[in-house]
Structure 1
Amino acid sequence: MSTNWLRVLRAVAQPRVRLVCFPHAGGTASAFRTWPAGLPDDVEVLAVRYPGREDRIAEPCATRMGEFADAVTAALLALDERPLALFGHSMGASVAYEVAHRLAGEHARPPVALLVSARRAPHRLQPSGTGDLDDDALVAHVQGRGAPASAALDHPELRELFLPVLRADYRMLDAYAGEATTRPLPVPLTAYYGEQDTGAAEPEALAWAVVAGAGFAARGFAGGHFYLVPHEAALLDDIARRLAGTALEAPCRP
């Protein structure tokens, strides 16, 4: 079932729910490769495959959030109507949020949960200019946030490969900051955050309540922007709990 936009990390014959994972800026579907082992056996795990990296490296990176979210939405609509839950980390949280709006609105197939991580709420986004930093400053920014495998940017040949992807992602996010959807979403929303994340700690996580139109919760973990790496087991346990039982009762269709 893997497609150009979706990679199946664990296929389940009759899944109770599909958890669709959206990577961070510069990230890849492989960031979630270890997640199936930490989730119940009846949860099918998929990751979104962003263009411009891994086996889509020859394709241009996305430049507009709207077109990006439209393409992912179309890929999800091509699946059968098993319940969907969306998890997005950092940039992935914004992509997942826009996809959730499309699914819940014009397509009347709302996800059963939206799980956002380490990201400001849409109405609090501001352009950062990160994509326009010089090479050394951009590398320092990424490594300062503790991004997995960011040490690869110390190698000139890998830096040449990854920096254009990072710039494209950050520039797309800057453009999105002025056009983000800010109306309430009719889907249960949970915001996760790193307690020492200088850009998206507790106040930013709690601000997601403004656009949560069907229930809201937040949970913090010790650590910075990539808190989810050392706390993967605890995060997945929390996600599994939220996807269990009544959490899978689909929200009312608009």
Structure 2
Amino acid sequence: MNNKLFVIPKPNPNAKLRLFCFPYAGGSPAIYMPWSSELHPEVELVLLQFPGRGARMGEPAYVEMQHKVDELLAHQAFLTEKPYVLMGHSLGSRVIFEVTKHLVENNAPLPRHLIASGSRAPHTASVKERIYDLPHDAFVEELYKLNGTPKELLEHKELMELLLPLLRADFQIAECYRAQATTLPCPITVFHGHDDIEISAEQLHGWQDLTEHKIDIHYFNGGHFFINQCRDEVLKTVNQVLSRIV
């Protein structure tokens, strides 16, 4: 697939299922890259690379959810050509909900499953203070507190100057986007960190409003970035979900 949006670390033309993985705010395909050799053998991993990162560093990062959705829908044929599952962490979870909602409206083939990791339900209001438009030093200080950006990167002034526009853009989407509640026909599995104080029980269980099926919630040790802290356990659970579909 010769397209900058999709990164396929280990192409598998005979795969029966594709898993599309969406990063959190400020994240890149590198988050999921190590998964490629440990996924179910009949699953092809496809990573999403939006503007502002990796090979697309020179492109302005999107500041609205609809921009991400529009680009994905422009490649709807590839997205839906095989049975597929969508997974996202944090902001990525809200992206997969929004794109699935549009696929329903387009009468397109739908994901067999959604895996929403580390995110409040997208129709619930965020109770966090907005940070994307803070002055430089205050914004960087908030990034330290969130503990999702490596400390060595935050302390590298030249790299941070390059990355700050991307981080601000992603946080703008994360903080300003709120979905209209829509009940999807797709099953949803929810991943949550035991110590994630950013998401209330009401926001977590709000995912139930968005599917015709009973949601399945899996809890992991760690905070908001348990996907990194509990990588092996998360991947094991992902494979369990996929094995029921392949």
TM-score range normalised by the length of the shorter chain: over 0.9
**Alpha-carbon contact 1:193-1:202 (below 8 Å) kept:** no
Confirm or deny that 1:214 pairs with 2:213. yes
Separation in structure 2 between the aligned mates of residue 220 and residue 208 of structure 1, nearest angstrom: 15
Map residues 184-203 of structure 1 onto 2, 5 A cutoff: 184-200=183-199, 202-203=201-202
Compute the displacement of 1:183 (Å): 0.9
| 1:25/1:92 contact within 8 Å kept | yes
The alignment partner of 2:44 has SS state of strand
Give yes or no for the alignment of 1:74 onto 2:74. yes
> Is the contact made by 1:118 and 1:201 (CA closer than 8 Å) also made in structure 2?
no
Q: How far apart, CA to CA, are the structure 2 residues paired with 1:35 and 1:2? A: 21
**Aligned mates of 1:90, 1:79 — CA distance in 2:** 21
The alpha carbon displacement at 1:79 in A equals 4.9
Cα offsets for 1:50-80 (capped at 9, x unmatched): 1011111111111221121121133242356
What are the ranges of 5 or more consecutive residues in structure 2 without an aligned counterpart?
Answer: none
Which residue is equivalent to 1:133?
134
Aligned residue for 1:224? 223
Q: TM (normalized to structure 1)?
A: 0.89
Q: How does 1:69-218 map to 2 (within 5 A)?
A: 69-79=69-79, 81-126=81-126, 128-177=129-178, 180-200=179-199, 202-218=201-217
Q: Alignment partner of 2:7: what SS?
A: strand
CA distance in 1, matches of 2:90, 2:109: 24
* Greater than 4 Å deviation, 4+ residue runs: none
Q: How many residues align?
A: 245
Q: What are the superposed Cα offsets for residues 160-191 of structure 1, whole Å, 9 maximum, x if unpaired?
A: 111111111111233312xx131111101011
CA contact (8 A) 1:143 1:150 kept: yes
Residue type of the alignment partner of 1:33: M
Identity %: 31
| TM superposition shift of 1:100 | 1.5
The answer (yes or no) to whether the contact 2:40–2:243 under 8 Å persists in 1 is no
- Residue number in structure 2 paired with 1:251: none
Which piece of structure 1 moves more, 53-62 or 202-211? 202-211
**Aligned residue type for 2:165:** P
In structure 2, the CA distance between the partners of 1:194 and 1:153, relative to structure 1 (3 Å rule), is same
Structure 1 Cα separation of the partners of residues 149 and 174 of structure 2? 20
Using a 3 Å threshold, how does the CA distance of structure 1 residues 6 and 147 change in structure 2: closer, same or farther?
same
Q: TM-score, normalised by structure 2?
A: 0.92
The alpha-carbon distance between structure 1 residues 62 and 73, as it changes in their structure 2 partners (threshold 3 A), is same
Query: Contact 1:142–1:150 at 8 Å: present in 2 too?
Result: no
Structure 2 distance, partners of 1:184, 1:56, is 34
Q: Residues 10-25 of structure 1 correspond to what in structure 2 (within 5 A)?
A: 10-25=10-25
Equivalence map 1:40-59=2 (5 Å) = 40-59=40-59
Q: d(CA) in 2 for partners of 1:219 and 1:93? A: 15
Kept in 1, the 8 Å contact 2:4–2:55? The answer is no
User: Partners of 1:18 and 1:169 in 2: how far apart?
Assistant: 25
Distance 1:81 1:118, change over 3 A: same
Amino acid of the structure 2 residue aligned with 1:130: I
The answer to whether the Cα contact below 8 Å between 2:24 and 2:88 also exists between their aligned partners in 1 is: yes
Q: Secondary structure at the match of 1:206?
A: helix
Aligned-pair Cα RMSD in Å: 1.8
Please show how residues 1-40 of structure 1 align to structure 2 within 5 Å. 1-40=1-40
